[in-house]
Structure 1
Amino acid sequence: MCLKQFAASRLALAGLPLSFLLLLAIAPLCRLLAEGGMQFHLDLLSDPYLRGRLWWSLGQAAATCLACVLVGVPLAWLLARYRFYGRAVVLRLLMLPFVMPTLVAAMGVLALFGPHGLFGVNLQDTPWLLLYGNLFFNLPLVVRAACDGFAQVPASRLAAARTLGASPWRAFWRVEWPAALPWLLSSLCLVFLYCFSGFGLALILGGQRYATLEVEIYSLVAYELNLADAGALALLVLLVCGAAAAAYAWLARRLATAAKAEPLPLRPASNPLERLALTLAMAVLLLFGGLPLLAVCWRGLGAASSWLALWDEDVRLALWNSARFTALTVLLAGGLGLLHAFASGRSLAMRAAMFLPFIISPVCAAFGLLLLYPQWSAASGLLLGAYALLAYPFVAKAVLAALDGQPAHWAAAARSLGASPWRTFLRVQWPLLQPALRRGLAFAAATAVGEFAVTLFLSRPEWLTLTTLIYQRLGRPGQANADAAMQLSCLLMLLALLAFWIIETAGGAGAKEGDRADAAQSE
């Protein structure tokens, strides 16, 4: 009887998130496939322009992966092997680009290398602008993953290789590299997925000459109303993203079976060459991960137009909409994420369904919703539902990881002492879940603040947000509009940093202790 009740409660919990996925992900995806599947044929790619967009989309994603390997692996090795004051802070700050809205990153890149850029080099209408923006977002991800991979190297195995006469270079290739490779490959799958299906950076930094397939889909729908070709291209994007996601799932599954034993202890930089290498590593991280954000602040604070002049009706409306959409999205994502996590248990199907919104790009998701529910395109509920669809997997993933990490005997001990299931949950499980829930909600809030593609497809003038207002100001001529776009980007960055601050407060004490330990060991 207890097993039947448990199964029934698990099924009841799964009902709402599964229904949500069916209505806002699976059904729109099927509608999109029907729109593009009937029209998809090889003749579509015989068009030199569309074929060029496909090859550029694949090429810039592959080039970003290669650049992340060449730059990120040495940085990760240094972070994994040496200790220095502030190392824990550096590792946590590697998450910062991930929670930054794409428009903020795009504005930072333009402030550095666009017209009138701080470096005096105009890279607009060149492929390098988009590639640099891709590195801003994805290099920290590769560095963090590879650093965790290098930390898995067993100390005894590396010591045995050195004892048998292997040089440091040979020991790296035969012992360290195989241990870090699964972590690196799984992160590169995500990098390829983010770059190939990215929209905001490609729209702002790529321009018409270096538009990706995602930008082309938006142009076909918004400007030409060519739904057939847009659906066919969206189907092509889904096929490529699905293949990349399948590769990521396979590698993540292989990674989950890896055992961690005898991690190598960190050592201080003992000679000038090692200290120089660490200094150069921090400089590279600053170049690709920090300068765009600092440039946004510099250009925004130093803009010729005053901040008071920026405070007009459109800005007030955009701030209000961004704040309320984010708050409502956090509430929806929190409820759906908790239900999905609790309903998942050991179910492989439920755990796989959690990653469905990650596979579908925001452009494809918004396009599918527009095709399936045209009568609701003017309803704010559809926009909020799309926001929640993209945000709630962060909550579900974080909470499920926390549930997996809870010792089963704690809840069993509480039940054996007479606690009811509800009291056991409130007094034992819930306090342990709160840090993970806060982190998931923070990522969900950051996703909602910076969401751009869905807003362009489904938004109305009265639903103006900061992201769409920045895009509007960029499309208008004049230095005043460019200054206003930089100032609005500062506001958008502040909203995203507020979500990041929530993440920091959840683990701030541990990070401070890590810094103190690094400093004490260095002395």
Structure 2
Amino acid sequence: MELKSNWSKTGRISQNLLALTLLLLPLVFLLLVVLLPLWTMLQQTDPESYHMVWQDDFMRRQLGWTTIQAGISTFITLLLGVPVAWFITRIQFRGREWVLRLIMLPFVMPTLVAAMGILALFGAQGMLWRGWDDTPYLLLYGNVFFNLPVMVRAAYQGLCQVPANRLYAAQTLGANIWQRFVRVEWPQMRPWLSGAMCLVFIYCFSGFGLALLLGGERYGTLEVQIYQLIAYELDMAQAGVLVVWALSITLIAGLLYAVISKRTTFKATVQVLPPKTPSAGQKLGLALALVLLLLCCAMPILALGWRAISAGSSWQVLLEEDTWQALFNTIRFTVLAMALALLLGFCHAALAHRWAWVRSITFLPFMASPVCVSFGLLLCYPDYTASLSMLIATYALLAYPFITKDVLAAWDSLPVQYEQAARTLGAKNWQVLLFVTLPLLRPALQRGLALAAATCVGEFAATLFLSRPEWQTLTTLIYHYLGIAGQDNYDRAMVLTLILMLVAILIFSLLEWCTARKEKSLC
């Protein structure tokens, strides 16, 4: 009996150590992949040179433009996203469920796909207008295309948290639609919109692919300048100074987002106001909202498809070995990164669910752009430069916060009675996790996986820094063809961009379809 008791005690200790190791894995990962590389980068720079940005006219304009374009893009997405979300949430119309499911499609598009679609519309060979070259409008339009779904989705989630009885009470007291929006709906939406604004600002400020292709020489951002300093001039000192300034600004926005996100937990007991049949004026507003979505989010995708279909003989690029190798590398890197991102995302959500302070570092990968992370990794681990482990770790770093965010939000909203009932029936902690918590979190887990997978498929900046020539992906192959003069090379890039877009849509749709089936079966 004593031997059996000791064996049982040893088993419990082993299980506890394993659980603790898994829980602490995300913290160790962030330390090795983010904090240490950034610290190494700070060591390489001269503190006295930080004021160099303000003395150099070009650098000052670069920092100012990067901040201004992010602010303008955030304001435009807020101005357009709130009314679009209101009409989609409150008005019943045919195809509403499809619009709700497809609203995030532009966001899951790789940035390279978004940039190519916008060039197909307004570039040097644009289908609609060819006067936007070397202007700031291309980049601003690209930011709106990529981030408007984020704002619409946030506003929709905020509206879904408005209790129906409050709206009915306000209507009974004589409040019209506008008064109900200002007095009841807007206060409830504010935390969601504030968090979305911080997130959109970070995406616009630290975006690389859009700025590289759409900004040009005059309207490139800090991320593009950092890449050029490292890749073409090998000026690590000046690049490090710019990285510090970029991180300082994104750190402020990221911390605000982390604080605000605590106030945006779903309330499972809220009775949502069902969508209603629109009046004549509301039908007009709904039509304008759908047209706005078409112009801002669907037109670049349609233009890209049309240009690719019209590429003619350039479709022969699909018969070349380099194309199939790039496709294989893209899928291979995505699968490997998703396996790691799934483990990191769930463990981080479990840790954040237990310890509140861990929530504040959930969005640390969002604060450091891919260019900054890749630069820091090169300095911190020179012996592992262009290694597969470093590339996969970078992919996973940029992807797993999407999983953590959705899983943590769903976990916070689970009724505690489920776990308490399971423990009352004698279930152990691991049994509660496997047979109670995980099945309930599966839809959120798959939803986060969809966004994370789309991020890995279209990753561009980290691949440019950390990849080998033989590890060429679809994104780097597209960029290669864009860098070679000639109409055929441009058409080849369009064809490959269409293939990349279809791969991203396929992965996202499969995961979203599985999520929809699971949620339907639970209802």
Structure 1 length-normalised TM? 0.91
Q: Cα–Cα, structure 1 residues 98 and 36, in superposed 2: closer, same or farther, change >3 Å?
A: farther
Mean CA deviation greater in 447-456 or 117-126: 117-126
1:241 aligns with 2:245: no
Counterpart in the other structure of 1:520:
none
Residue aligned with 1:267, SS: coil
1:20 to 24, 29, 51: 29
Partner of 1:390: 398
Partner of 1:519: none
Q: Matches of residues 123-522 of structure 1 in structure 2 within 5 Å?
A: 123-256=132-265, 261=270, 263-271=272-280, 273-419=281-427, 421-509=429-517
User: Aligned equivalents of 1:444 and 1:170: distance in 2?
Assistant: 39
SS of residue paired to 2:124: coil
| Structure 2 Cα separation of the partners of residues 384 and 192 of structure 1 | 26
The letter for the 2-side match of 1:176 is E
Change (3 A) 1:416 1:72: closer
Give the Å deviation of 1:134.
0.4
C-alpha distance in structure 2 between counterparts of 1:345 and 1:161, whole Å: 36
CA distance, structure 2, for counterparts of residue 511 and residue 435 of structure 1: 6
Question: How far is the alpha carbon of 1:416 from its aligned partner?
Answer: 4.1
Report the equivalent of 1:521.
none
Distance in 2 (CA, whole Å) between partners of 1:397 and 1:216 is: 31
- Residues 455 and 95 (structure 1), Cα distance of their counterparts in 2 relative to 1, 3 Å cut: same
Aligned residue identity for 1:99: V
1:84 positional shift: 1.1
| Shift in alpha-carbon separation, 1:290–1:37, aligned structure 2, 3 A | farther
C-alpha distance in structure 2 between counterparts of 1:385 and 1:45, whole Å: 35
Deviation at 1:374, TM superposition (A): 1.5
Q: Do 1:439 and 1:506's aligned partners in 2 also have CA atoms closer than 8 Å?
A: no
Q: What is the deviation of 1:349? A: 3.0
- Higher alpha-carbon deviation: 15-24 or 222-231: 15-24
Quick one: distance in 2 between partners of 1:390 and 1:43?
Answer: 30
Counterparts of 2:13 and 2:383, CA distance in 1: 41
2:3 alignment partner in structure 1: none
State the partner residue of 2:75.
66
Deviations 1:150-188 (A, max 9, x none): 333444444554555555434433333223222212211
Contact (CA 8 Å) 1:11, 1:343: kept in 2 or not? Answer: no
| C-alpha distance after superposition, 1:454-507 (max 9, x if no partner) | 111111111111111111111111100110000000111111112211232123
CA distance in structure 2 between the aligned counterparts of 1:297 and 1:461, rounded to whole angstroms: 28
Structure 2 unmatched runs, 5+ = 1-8
Which structure 1 segments of 5+ residues have no match?
A: 514-523
1:86 aligns with 2:90: no
Return the TM-score normalized by structure 2. 0.91
Q: Which amino acid aligns with 2:471?
A: W
CA distance in 2, matches of 1:378, 1:396: 28
Residues 230-260 of structure 1, C-alpha deviations (whole Å, 9 max, x = no match): 1011000100001111221222233449897
- Per mean C-alpha deviation after superposition, the further-off stretch among 18-27 and 225-234 is 18-27
Separation in structure 1 between the aligned mates of residue 207 and residue 376 of structure 2, nearest angstrom: 17
The Cα offsets for residues 179-229 of structure 1, whole Å up to 9 and x where unpaired, read as: 322221221111111101110000000011101011111011111111111
What's 2:64 paired with?
55
Distance in 1 of aligned mates of 2:283 and 2:57: 51
Greater displacement, 361-370 / 388-397: 388-397
Measure how far apart 1:136 and its partner are. 0.5
Task: Return the letter of the residue paired with 2:460.
Answer: F
Percent identity between the two aligned chains: 51
Residue in structure 2 matched with residue 106 of structure 1 by the alignment: 115
**What amino acid maps onto 2:25 in structure 1?**
L
Distance 1:509 1:5, change over 3 A: closer
Q: Secondary structure at the match of 2:158?
A: helix
Comparing 419-428 and 440-449, the one that deviates more: 419-428
Secondary structure, counterpart of 1:268 in structure 2: coil
Match of 2:4 in 1: none
Partner of 2:5: none
- Name the amino acid aligned to 2:400: Y
Q: CA RMSD in A?
A: 2.6
Aligned 8 A contact 2:265 2:413 in 1:
no
Cα contact 1:57–1:213 (8 A) shared by 2 = yes
Deviation at 1:280, TM superposition (A): 1.6
CA apart distance, 1:8: 4.7
The answer as to whether partners of 2:314 and 2:491 remain within 8 angstroms in 1 is no
What amino acid is aligned across from residue 107 of structure 1 in structure 2? M
Quick check: 1:403–1:433 contact (8 Å CA) kept in 2? yes
Q: SS of the residue aligned with 2:374?
A: helix
Mapped to 2, the partners of 1:109 and 1:512 lie a distance apart of 36
Q: Distance in 2 between matches of 1:378 and 1:500?
A: 28
Partner Cα separation in structure 1 for residue 266 and residue 276 of structure 2: 28
- Aligned AA for 1:251? I
| Deviation of the 1:75 alpha carbon | 1.2
Deviates more, 1:125-134 or 1:434-443: 434-443
Q: Which moved further from structure 2: 347-356 or 467-476?
A: 347-356
- SS of the aligned residue for 2:312 comes to coil
Q: Structure 1 429/303 Cα, relative in aligned 2: closer, same or farther at 3 Å?
A: same
Judged with a 3 Å threshold, the aligned counterparts in structure 2 of structure 1 residues 172 and 389 are, in CA distance, closer, same or farther, namely closer
Instruction: Give the 3 Å change call, closer, same or farther, for CA 396–253 of structure 1 in structure 2.
Output: closer
Relative contact order (alpha carbons < 8 A, sep ≥ 6): 1 or 2 greater? 1
- Counterpart of 2:247, as a letter, is L
Q: For 2:118 and 2:401, how far apart are their aligned partners in 1? A: 29
**Shift of the alpha carbon at 1:354?**
2.7
Cα 1:159/1:80, change in 2 over 3 Å: same
TM-aligned CA distance change 1:179 to 1:397, over 3 Å: closer
Matched residues in 1 for 2:346 and 2:161: separation? 31
Count of residue pairs the alignment pairs up: 512
Tell whether the 8 Å contact from 1:10 to 1:342 is kept in structure 2 after alignment. Answer: no
AA aligned to 1:206 is G
**For 1:494, what is the secondary structure of its paired residue?**
helix
In 2, Cα distance between equivalents of 1:417 and 1:168: 50
1:35 — aligned with what? 44
2:84 paired residue among 64, 70, 75: 75
Contact 1:319–1:465 (CA under 8 A) maintained in structure 2: yes
